[in-house]
Structure 1
Amino acid sequence: MSEQRTRPTVYAVWLIVAGVVGLIAAFALTVEKFVLLQNPQDALSCDISPFIQCSKNLNSPQGEVFGFPNPLLGLMGWMAPLIVGVAILAGARFPRWFWAVFGAGITFAFGFVCWLIGQSLYDLFVLCPWCMITWAVTIPTFFATMLHLTRNGTFTRSEKVQERANSLMVWVPLATVLAYAVIIMMAQLQGLDFLGEMARIIF
């Protein structure tokens, strides 16, 4: 399905939503990092319990993989989906190389998030609320982007494959829910009672 024949409005709207949510989470984590640097002993506003908190993540080596706080990556990175989504709604058409680069960036973000999930569950034994929000928007963005790059001809010129990818877009929400379920199951198996902790906090 050529991008020239149809404007991916739903995908564009999702990119905008994901970009805004991702930026909010990254900004909140950046602020919390500043607070932590000024007052290392103080509890952060996102430190809900020993199991759900930001402090341990932000203070860990995993929180500064590239030599600076990870939230700065979010502040820079989430601008891309937001801008691309707005541009699509404005009628922009991007060349194949642009989509390839965009897809590579989204793939990197997804891989990095998967690594961070593993580190949180199996090394730090804690879940960061703002980090989980980032995970929550990165996962469906990756699924949707891979299908979009297939249907718009970036990955293949086969119209049959493109049409198939387009028909699979409706399954992105279900795939996302299943991915969330796997993460929750991993947390439960690791002894981190995510569901019980959420119920206690809410009720």
Structure 2
Amino acid sequence: MSLSELSRRPRGLALFLIIAGVIGFGAAFALTLDKIHLLENPDAQLSCNFSVLIGCSTNLASWQGSLFGFPNPLIGIAAWSVVITIGMAILAGAIFKRWFWIGLNVGVTGALVLVIWLIIQSIYVLDVLCPWCMVTWAVTIPTFLAVTLYNLKSGHIPVPAFFRRRAEIAYSWIFVITIGCYIVVAIFAQLQMDFLHRL
């Protein structure tokens, strides 16, 4: 492998994808186990149920929890496994083609759209915050930001140089942008659910 190829490997992104993937996979796996417990015993008391406001039973039992006809956590198990594999492949020396990066971007964009929809359903319809779901939200948001901004700044997504430079700047501020997104979600949850007074 040449030095230029080594320099083009986004090792930081790879490490992030692995860490985010492991966290997301863990949350999806825990939710899948809880769903199995509910199927075995609809009255089961799950470890993720802390109060009327914070728990996962309501989400898992709702139609929103099986949007495509099967439990949503199964999507997470499959998707986060792919994310982990991509991160490991990059660390192992893989150099992906542009079409691959765009495909990954389509995937994380779809994940973000689904997560936004689930956030809206949790806050405005189900009136409950699922702990493991929130873990999934928490890693999906920065994963979308990291992949999208990397693709913009590296030219995988063709944009004018001005936008590439802005994406490069934003890429170094992903942590701050992510915290800002968390704050926005928390504000909407507080305004709708008044969760601070209901904890």
TM-score (norm. length: structure 1): 0.91
- Specify the alignment match of 1:179 in structure 2: 181
Pick one of 86, 89, 98 that aligns with 1:87: 89
Q: CA deviation at 1:160?
A: 5.3
Moved runs in structure 1, 4+ residues, more than 3 A? 2-5, 157-164
Which secondary structure state, in structure 1, belongs to the residue aligned with residue 176 of structure 2? helix
Evaluate the alpha carbon distance shift between residue 167 and residue 7 of structure 1 in structure 2; reply closer, same or farther with a 3 A threshold. Answer: farther
User: Helix, strand or coil: the match of 1:78?
Assistant: helix
Mapping 1:165-176, distance limit 5 Å:
165-176=167-178
- Correspondence for 1:24: 26
What residue is the counterpart of 1:59 in the other structure? 61
2:186 maps to 1:189:
no
What amino acid does structure 2 have at the position aligned with 1:34?
I
After TM superposition, the structure 1 stretch with the greater mean CA deviation from structure 2, 126-135 or 162-171, is 162-171
> What is the deviation of 1:7?
2.0
2:52 is the alignment partner of 1:50: yes
Cα distance in structure 1, aligned partners of 2:196 and 2:95: 43
AA in 1 matched with 2:50: I
Q: What stretches of structure 2 of length at least 5 have no aligned partner?
A: none
Amino acid paired to 1:28: A
Q: Which amino acid aligns with 1:145?
A: V
C-alpha RMSD over aligned residues:
1.8
- Cα deviation, residue 158, structure 1: 4.7
Q: CA deviation at 1:81?
A: 1.3
- TM-aligned CA deviation for residue 193 of structure 1: 1.2
Cα drift, residue 90 of structure 1: 1.2
Partner Cα separation in structure 1 for residue 175 and residue 52 of structure 2: 31
How many Å apart are 1:159 and its aligned residue?
5.1
% identical equivalent positions? 48
Is the 1:4–1:93 contact (alpha carbons within 8 Å) kept by the matching residues of 2?
A: no
Match of 2:71 among 58, 69, 78: 69
- After the TM superposition, which residues 123-162 of structure 1 pair with which residues of structure 2 at under 5 Å, given as runs? 123-156=125-158, 158=160, 161-162=163-164
Kept after mapping to 1: 8 A contact 2:21/2:84 = yes
Partner of 1:200: none
Amino acid at match of 1:140: P
Aligned pair partner of 1:40 in 30, 39, 42 = 42
| Aligned amino acid, residue 49 of structure 1 | S
Structure 1 residue 100 and structure 2 residue 79: aligned? no
Taking the aligned partners of 2:109 and 2:166, their CA distance within structure 1 comes to: 21
Structure 1: any 5+ residue segments left out of the alignment? 198-203
- TM (norm. structure 2) is 0.93
